[in-house]
Amino acid sequence: MTKPHTRHGDLRGQDGRRLTRRALLAGAAGAVGAATVAPVSGQQSVDTTRRAGRGPNEVDQRSSFVTPRRDPSTTSSRTPLQDLRGTITPADLHFERHHGGVPNIDPARYELLIHGLVDRPTVFSLADLQQFPATSRTCFLECSGNLRRGTPETLPQMVCGLTSQTEWTGVLLSTVLREVGAQPSATWLLAEGQDAAVMTRSVPMDKAFDDAMIVYAQNGDALMPGNGYPARLLLPGWEGNASVKWLRRIELADQPFMTREETSKYTDPLDGGNTVRQFSFVMDARSIITDPAYPRVIEPGWHEIRGLAWSGRGRITGVEVSTDGGATWHAAILQGPVLPKAHVRFRHLWQWDGDPAEIMSRATDETGYVQPTWEALQAARGPGTRYHQNPITSWTVGDDGRMLFGAERLRS
Amino acid sequence: MTARRSAHLWITHLCLMTTALGVLWLAAPAAAGQQPVAASDHPATFGLGRAARTSEIETLDIDVMPDGTGLPVGQGTAAEGARTWARACGVCHGVEGEGSTAAPVVGRDPDSRRPTVGNYWPYATTLYDYINRAMPRNAPGTLTPDEVYSLVAWILSKNDIIATDAVMNATTLPDVVMPARGRFVPDDRRGGPEVR
């Protein structure tokens, strides 16, 4: 029933399954009538039991029927949330946002300099970083510019695809700071990348001592180039821009550095611009329904509403789903384990009766914060903020079964 | 690292313009200026890494702070900057800095909400830091200190922040007070039920 969305040529999911089922049926019919099997799709023989498949190989690839794609622009690429069913984002589908392209860094020549308010200014190789005691952390990473309000023909990927989740492995930054003798007078550090933007952000030392990491592995493998190979900073729960990739330098100081990315960018004009909120690091709780969503066309009957929820302040404690445009709400099932600062899957059974409806979700985190409506965000901040938007979003379905993005809810 | 000028002046400025929350915010990192606590089984040192040479620190330490720390020797004026702008910047940011494929940098109308230098940049030193490290996009890191100072002077002059004949250097640039300076406030979101 899924309508292929032509922009991305992505036929994965329901279409892929239908194709397979049809192929199997055709294969069974063919086996009755004749020994020869005619290809149906042009991509594979009908009866896979009559011919040995390929042997083991060095690196596997997705089935030819499965083609999830990021949606790249000149500066970012967005995770296809509608094509994923768990909480871990495959490394090659993790969103990207970079400011000077992706550098190609030889790990043998990679060095990280740590200096400033430290007793022992030190240069670490990648091997040095990997020799420290390692730790792994599963958490989301979200760009604070992660909202497109769009048109009704907008994919989950385009609404909210600048969030992804990874099992990161590396060394706690506190371990490395202890090695270099971080001085008590240090209150901020500068993290600097090795890309053509030489990206820099200031980070408070209390975050550095809390749960910050220098990571070199993504889902157990080396980082992908677009996500900072060979090593990046990781600040769990904080806006992605501050988790500086291709990390080449850390400088400890007694004040923030006021870089371009923390002054003229990634800041929030409030009250019509009379004030500007700065260092808005933590990503507030948010959720999105990833299925059913545009461009699916559904039929009356039972559907499982599925989505993701997360909070930069800790654990998600609940997700509520409404199937009547927000008039009534129902507690969704959370798929455990529910990790802090991590994507969690939520699911809710819904019997669609064929009448027009609007489905939406809202997340609550352990601080008691409830994901707000667009109107509530506008009322709190005034118009004109571009970053850190986490409104409730919805999908509508008409009596023709077509799912569309609830763009009307995000009108100013 | 070279000794940095005391942060007290900066903190005083910021505290004066912010709320009590802001004072708390600034005090919090200072209070947190503790040594990281090692896992109980960690040795005093792992003996990893090598001592950084002064020369390599000087090469990499390109950042410029609001108090001017990190600014190199050199200088420039708007007239000199106009030539560099025409050669290296105008094609993306517009001949007069009005914006084109890249963001506008000139504009002093806060109501427009355009994040121009005149409307939205709180520190003039950030201009030097950013242009030096990342501009022009097709050849970052190639501008000389004099070229960067002159571009900063041109941008500040076009935004009516400094006089057209003002000389920008390591002494004068940190003293430039930006129109947007007083509008910046620390993050006041704290979780909990309130939407902010």
How many other CB atoms sit within 10 Å of the CB of residue B138? Answer: 10
Sign of the Cα torsion A73, A76, A79, A82 reads: negative
Mean pLDDT of chain B: 85
pLDDT > 70 fraction of chain A, expressed in percent and rounded = 89
Task: Mutation target for B interface from A111, A120, A198, A247: give the one with most B CBs within 10 A.
Answer: A198
* Distance from the A333 Cα atom to the nearest Cα atom in chain B, whole angstroms: 22
Are A267 and B184 within 8 A, CB to CB?
A: yes
State pLDDT tens for residues A320-366.
999 999 999 999 999 999 999 999 999 999 999 999 999 999 999 99
Please give the CATH topology (third level) of the domain spanning A286-410.
Answer: Immunoglobulin-like (2.60.40)
Under the banding of pLDDT at 50, 70 and 90, the label for residue B38 is low
Q: Which of residues 40-79 of A touch B (CB under 8 A)?
A: none
Task: Mutation target for B interface from A250, A276, A362: give the one with most B CBs within 10 A.
Answer: A276
Give residue B78's identity as a one-letter amino acid code.
Answer: A
Are B193 and A269 within 8 A, CB to CB?
A: no
CA separation for the pair A362, A155 (Å, rounded): 18
Sign of the Cα torsion B151, B152, B155, B160 reads: negative
CA separation for the pair A245, A257 (Å, rounded): 18
Are B126 and A260 within 8 A, CB to CB?
A: yes
pLDDT at A69 over 60: yes
**A244 in contact with chain B, both atoms CB, cutoff 8 A:** no
Task: Tell me the three-class secondary structure of chain A, residue by residue.
Answer: CCCCECCCCECCCHHHHHHHHHHHHHHHHHHHHCCCCCCCCCCCCCCCCCCCCCCCCCCCCCCCCCCCCCEECCCEEECCHHHCCCCCCCHHHCCEECCCCCCCCCCCCCEEEEEECECCCEEEEHHHHHHCCCEEEEEEEECCCCCCCCCCCCCHHHHHCCEEEEEEEEEEHHHHHHHHCECCCCCEEEEEECCCCCCEEEEEHHHHHHCCEEEEEECCEECCHHHCCCCEEECCCEEHHHCCCCEEEEEEECCCCCCHHHCCCCCEEEHHHCEEEECCCECCCEEEEEECCCCCECCCEEEEEEEEEECCCCCEEEEEEECECCCCCEECEECCCCCCCCCEEEEEEEEECCCCEEEEEEEEECCCCECCCHHHHHHHHCCCCCCCCCCCCEEEECCCCEEEECHHHHCC
State pLDDT tens for residues A2-12.
444 433 433 33
Are B34 and A116 within 8 A, CB to CB?
A: no
Enumerate the residues of chain A whose CB falls inside 8 A of the CB of residue B46: 131-132, 179
Q: What is the pLDDT of residue B101?
A: 95
State pLDDT tens for residues B69-112.
999 999 999 999 999 999 999 999 999 999 999 999 999 986 76
Task: Mutation target for B interface from A126, A190, A255, A373: give the one with most B CBs within 10 A.
Answer: A255
Are B183 and A248 within 8 A, CB to CB?
A: no
Count of positions (residues) in chain B = 196
Enumerate the residues of chain B whose CB falls inside 8 A of the CB of residue A260: 126, 129-130, 134
Query: What does the CA dihedral A111, A116, A121, A127 come to, rounded to 10 degrees?
Result: -30
Are A187 and B193 within 8 A, CB to CB?
A: no
Query: What does the CA dihedral A168, A264, B181, B178 come to, rounded to 10 degrees?
Result: 140
- Give the number of C-alpha atoms closer than 13 A to the C-alpha of residue A377, restricted to the C-beta side: 26
Segments of chain A assigned to CATH 2.60.40.650? 286-410
Segments of chain A assigned to CATH 3.90.420.10? 93-276
* Distance from the B182 Cα atom to the nearest Cα atom in chain A, whole angstroms: 8
CA separation for the pair B180, B110 (Å, rounded): 9
Report which secondary-structure segment, H or E, holds B10: helix B8-17
pTM: 0.88
* Distance from the A189 Cα atom to the nearest Cα atom in chain B, whole angstroms: 11
**Token pair listed for A60:** 């596997």
Under the banding of pLDDT at 50, 70 and 90, the label for residue A384 is confident
Are A257 and B141 within 8 A, CB to CB?
A: no
Q: What is the pLDDT of residue A41?
A: 52
Nearest CA to B128 out of B156, B91, B162 is that of B156
Are the beta carbons of A285 and A363 closer than 8 angstroms? yes
**How much is the average pLDDT of A67-94?**
97
What's phi and psi for A207, nearest 5 deg?
-70, -40
**Integer angstrom CA distances of residue B194 from A259, A304, A372, B95:** 29, 31, 9, 45
B51: nearest CB among A120, A125, A260: A120
What's phi and psi for B20, nearest 5 deg?
-60, -35
CA separation for the pair B41, B39 (Å, rounded): 6
Q: What is the pLDDT of residue A259?
A: 98
CA separation for the pair A19, A272 (Å, rounded): 52
* Distance from the B87 Cα atom to the nearest Cα atom in chain A, whole angstroms: 20
Are B183 and A267 within 8 A, CB to CB?
A: no
pLDDT at B18 over 70: no
Token pair 């083991």 is at which residue? A56
Under the banding of pLDDT at 50, 70 and 90, the label for residue A45 is low
How many other CB atoms sit within 10 Å of the CB of residue A230? Answer: 23
Are the beta carbons of A288 and A298 closer than 8 angstroms? no
Enumerate the residues of chain B whose CB falls inside 8 A of the CB of residue A310: none
pLDDT at B5 over 50: no
Under the banding of pLDDT at 50, 70 and 90, the label for residue A43 is low
Helix (H, G, I), strand (E, B) or coil at B50: strand
Establish, for the pair of chains A and B, how many residue pairs have beta carbons separated by less than 8 Å.
205
Strands A96-97 and A232-234: unpaired
Give residue A29's identity as a one-letter amino acid code.
Answer: A
Q: What is the CATH number of domain B66-188?
A: 1.10.760.10
Report which secondary-structure segment, H or E, holds B186: strand B184-186
Token pair 């601080």 is at which residue? A367
Count of positions (residues) in chain A = 412
**A130 in contact with chain B, both atoms CB, cutoff 8 A:** no
Enumerate the residues of chain B whose CB falls inside 8 A of the CB of residue A212: none
Q: What is the pLDDT of residue A291?
A: 98
Please give the CATH topology (third level) of the domain spanning A93-276.
Answer: Sulfite Oxidase; Chain A, domain 2 (3.90.420)
**Token pair listed for A361:** 């979700």
Are B46 and A132 within 8 A, CB to CB?
A: yes
A121: nearest CB among B48, B51, B134: B51
Q: Where exactly are the structural domains of chain B?
A: 66-188
How many other CB atoms sit within 10 Å of the CB of residue A231? Answer: 28
